[in-house]
Structure 1
Amino acid sequence: MLFWIIALALCAVVALAIAAPLRGRPAKQADDADLAFYRGQMAEIEADRARGLIGAEEAERARAEIGRRLIAADRAARAPQRQAQGPALPAILPGAVVVIGGALALYAYLGAPGRGDAPLADRLAMARELRDARPSQSQAEAAAPAMPVDAPQDYVDMVEQLRVAVPDRPDDLTGWQLLSRHEAALGNYAAAARAQERVIEIKGDAADLDDRVALIDRMVAASGGIVTPESEALLTELLDQRSDAAGPLYYMGLLQAQVERPDLAFRYWKRAIELGDPAAPHVELARAQVGRVAALAGVDYAPPARPGPSAADIAAAQDMDPAARDEMIRGMVDTLAARLAESGGAAADWARLIGALGVLGDTARAEAIWGEAQQVFAGTPDLDDIRAAAREAGVAR
């Protein structure tokens, strides 16, 4: 209620400030000035007659004329001021309605009229409660909905053979890596996480950052997108080792966003964007979501532009002969293909690679990349974007 009292009082002050100029100078002030003017003229006539500058007859005529004007001005000064002040009221009322009504309508659209006060201390306490109330990894996995993937039957049969064969060879690193990757491709993220855990156990101290981020990828997917306490513990350990690692920075930001701390989410995602490889999938995810948390945190932030060819590169390519230009493009395509094969990438990179191969007429490679993309992005919305590029390249229906 106090908020509305203050808001209405401010609206009234603004409306009065707008209305004040419409009222103009009061008519009484203008009439008083007229009376003083005519009285001054009367005194000047008497002074001129006394000095002999005008005759008595001429002075009498002038006094009579000024006297008539003085009487008329005096009557006007004594008359009610309604006519002078009244016309401002019709102009004031619509202005007040527009100002107050517009302010209330704007607040109803942009604000939250039904929401109570949210002091900083209460919001921080709520964030701590949300963080403490997170389910464990096993609870989240049990509650997460199934995510079946529509995959070719021969691929499903191949993965089933891996499920049977790999547990009989507990130290087969390659087998567990394949099982982890293909379980994830089929949307069986909990099984993929267990297989990835075995990969890390076999590798021991040789397990690198990518191995551990791959485990977190699968754990978060298996929990329905929730960053559980178990995932957080792994993330904290990784950030202690590599504070600039884009994957852990992204997931720590995701955790903060889930517990209503957009200010902290923004800090993590900003670091991921500015320190990570622009083509890395976690950087792409952070870039896609940082605008929302920045707005909630009250920060005006625009991610840095994605790197691309410079003006000099473009000019150089235009000056090349067709054969040299094709060779340069093939070099760029091969570089992109090698990076995707080594460390993966966002769906946009896969689509760009397939499209470039189609332009170069290398449909065999485009078809092979499309087949691999169907496994990597099976069951995800990103697959539709890659399929569109594959259709343009003529390797998909």
Structure 2
Amino acid sequence: MSLWFVLALMTLVAVAAVLWPLGRRRALAGGSDLAVYRDQLAEIDRDKGAGIIPASEAEAARTEVARRLIAASSKDGPAEYAASSAGGRRIAAVVALLIVPIAAVALYAKLGSPALPSQPLAARLSVPVEQRSIETLIAEVEARVEANPDEARGWEVLAPVYLRLGRYDDLVKARRAILRISGPNAGNEADLGEALVYLANGMVTVEAREAFQRALGLDAKEVKARYFMGIAYEQDGKPQDALKTWQALVADAPADAPWLPVVQRAIARIAPEGPTAEQMADSEQMPPEQRTAMVRGMVERLASRLAQDGGDEQSWFRLIRAYIVLNEPDNARKAAGDARKAANGDAARLKRIDDFVKSLGLET
């Protein structure tokens, strides 16, 4: 049984309760009317006692019957009252049968949520309370957006939610709507490109690349567009272009940028094992925080490999030099000791290691 059928049935019962006292026979001329009205009063009392009609409605019905009884007891009253009361009953019937239900539906449509889809009770109970709450809020915002598709605020609320829930088709739709309504700017274009990348399972498609390029055309410093252009270069088999893009992004980054670790991991994924001499020289021109961020990712990969396979002396030299740049002399000394162990008693190699360590002014 549908909810609307149940609500309609309840409405009919309520209307019937209201119309019950109004449905009596019209006042008749003659002395028998008095007995009829007295019977009606008695019947109202019985209905009230049985709980069929509420006390307030019973009192209103008693008042109406009393007026008709008074009119019937007067000589000229019955005919005049019969006509007027018939009109009143018709008005009351129209109000009860039509106006009240229509007003109730209109009020629900305004204050309720008629656009929300129905959901079986079992399905609702199977969803945790927290998720039910989120789903309800999302559905309400979606209903408002559907009713007002040219208001950007609703789309802006939905877009990050769609991203978190993995609803990438809807995410792209939201980002396109925001761009259409708010107009092109670097942030909106980059957000659209990001949505297209997620929709393509991480691939920077031609359409996504075009969005990032438009963003950079509007603002050459747009962080998200620069990061994803590095991804595009990596996917195109151009790791050096990707590395250059990301290193420039790190160089421009504030030390506390929340996205900095993401870029550093990307650099570590494709950078050579350990900074080269040229990279180390370039890093000397950077502020200390940025230099540290660029070097650390490369150092960690190099140290991990050398710990496993011993490596060659040039790799050890790069590692020792990197620890000096990071201002970690203890790690540099440890790396020098590990380099000596990896030399396996080779006197010439040990001498080169010692000479290198001394050139750095590092006491061992």
TM-score computed with the length of structure 1 as normaliser: 0.36
